[in-house]
Structure 1
């Protein structure tokens, strides 16, 4: 039995976005039902290298499939300048739950981008207005691309407004999509007055105020993944219908972590978790809703669900590089 080695290009080719969105939704549902195991993310701090490692294991049993894996990811801010390497790199080991055989080793960086976009799409599908046709994006980095790719799979997006402090990043985004959408650069407020807004920045001081949003905008707050990060003004979070992906992670390192630790937000301000909505235990958007917010920290079950889609497609289409990792000779 062979293990598949899947590069970033292989992951991109085989992560069919509609299927990834469905698998990530299945993962949220499995987690809500108690059919998933997801130990807390563990950290190895490396101050001597100004970096850290993070391990993210998970197992989930969806209704028609199950999967297991672990993502090993780093954050080394000095890498680009000192070593010509990305700040963040990830590797995913995808295993057969029945035998523990390592079915695939794949690039975790591309995988992360795909599953992050898919999570925003799941939330958008349940929390945005049905007739949403415009998408705003704050932050024109690598994550912005999969936000559009995924969200346009669940809503008929026509207009896109992207905002960033880097004009070059905006232009690269516009160039990538100007033959598919009515896409342009704009202010945070112009982006925020779209039907859907995704924020994908690493800021620690809020950049989106209540005045920057439309009356019924759905916001995917995707940028906060560490303690101290904070994109949306507290007034936005306090007034919105606020949905999180995981209580423990969000209160520690999600969009709500700063006001939560300052005592400005508490349990009464949370509408619920996304898993409760996808399973029907709580309603998604209703006619009475104004601004809705999804606080996404990124969960290991999403990585495993996406790896499942990637592996199945790659295996069916003879993609990737098979190799005898365990020396079994077959």
Structure 2
């Protein structure tokens, strides 16, 4: 039996942000309508290596898509010349269970996570949002900003990073794909003076204080994706309308995981899941003065809808290699 193999260059040739946003929004909708099977992601923690390995399975009933992503997070990989995040996605036939495609999931993970931020901003940010503040300028920051540029008229981007050279590289790369002004800031609080704030750091102590954030700001909190991680002052969460991607997953590995475990917030402080808003079950932003927070942990349904889109395009365009598996 042959299986289609798609390497990173294949996936890159088939992925673009507008179609990824469309697919991910559909995935959130199906999640909001409870039409998916998606166990919480499982973790293997490698404490002595400062890393972890995660498995993320999902079955989407309406689209008849099933599969799993295996992905790591190793923050020290930059020093090794490797990506912090690397992944592999396998899609399986729901009729027989046979693997249909094995593809690189590294770029796919960056793109679908960025797309999730775009979907969140579409439903939760003020429609007149033009200024983006970014805490962290790594690979994930790039796809977050790219997605925002597809759903908002971004005119100014404020950057904070402890390494100025990284900010320079970020501006150089992103200025090729969007026309706006980039401003490098020396303090995080200066970046927080914005319409949409994006945090993409792996920290375990809050970086963004409540008093720095103005009413009406939308925040995409992306960095906290494992137990013990947090980027936002819990006091800020208490001021905000909190929307998570998945309540169970966010409770043990999202931005809310630490304040929940310490009793600083409760489940009642969490408004809803993003899929419920996309599906029209719950309302999006309710006023221009509201602070909204999207707590993104990354869902397997995002991977499956994006991988399925890539797979279908590959079949149509004859891209990839067939390899003998069994």
Q: TM class by shorter-chain length?
A: over 0.9
User: Closer, same or farther in 2 for the Cα pair 1:192/1:45, shift >3 Å?
Assistant: closer
Residue 189 (str. 1) matches residue 189 (str. 2)? yes
User: Closer, same or farther in 2 for the Cα pair 1:193/1:61, shift >3 Å?
Assistant: farther
Range moving further from structure 2, 94-103 or 123-132: 94-103
Residue 21 (str. 1) matches residue 18 (str. 2)? no
Residue 30 (str. 1) matches residue 27 (str. 2)? no
Alignment deviations for residues 147-205 of structure 1 (CA, whole Å, 9 cap, x no partner): 01111111111211121111111000111123522122224233222211110001111
Listed as ranges, the matches of 1:165-176 within 5 Å are: 165-176=162-173
TM-score normalised over the length of structure 1:
0.91
1:288 to partner: Cα distance: 5.4
User: Closer, same or farther in 2 for the Cα pair 1:182/1:2, shift >3 Å?
Assistant: farther
State the match for 1:96 in structure 2. Answer: 93
1:78 to partner: Cα distance: 5.6
Q: Which consecutive unaligned segments of at least 5 residues does structure 1 have?
A: none
Residue 316 (str. 1) matches residue 313 (str. 2)? no
Q: Which consecutive unaligned segments of at least 5 residues does structure 2 have?
A: none
State the match for 2:227 in structure 1. Answer: 227
- Would the aligned equivalents of 2:260 and 2:267 in 1 still touch at CA under 8 Å? no
For 2:95 and 2:184, how far apart are their aligned partners in 1?
49
Range moving further from structure 2, 207-216 or 127-136: 207-216
Aligned length: 323
- Would the aligned equivalents of 2:142 and 2:174 in 1 still touch at CA under 8 Å? no
1:12 to partner: Cα distance: 2.3
For 1:80 and 1:196, how far apart are their aligned partners in 2?
28
For 2:35 and 2:108, how far apart are their aligned partners in 1?
22
For 1:169 and 1:6, how far apart are their aligned partners in 2?
30
Listed as ranges, the matches of 1:1-16 within 5 Å are: 2-16=2-16
Aligned counterpart for 1:73 among listed residues 59, 67, 71? 71
- Would the aligned equivalents of 2:242 and 2:295 in 1 still touch at CA under 8 Å? yes
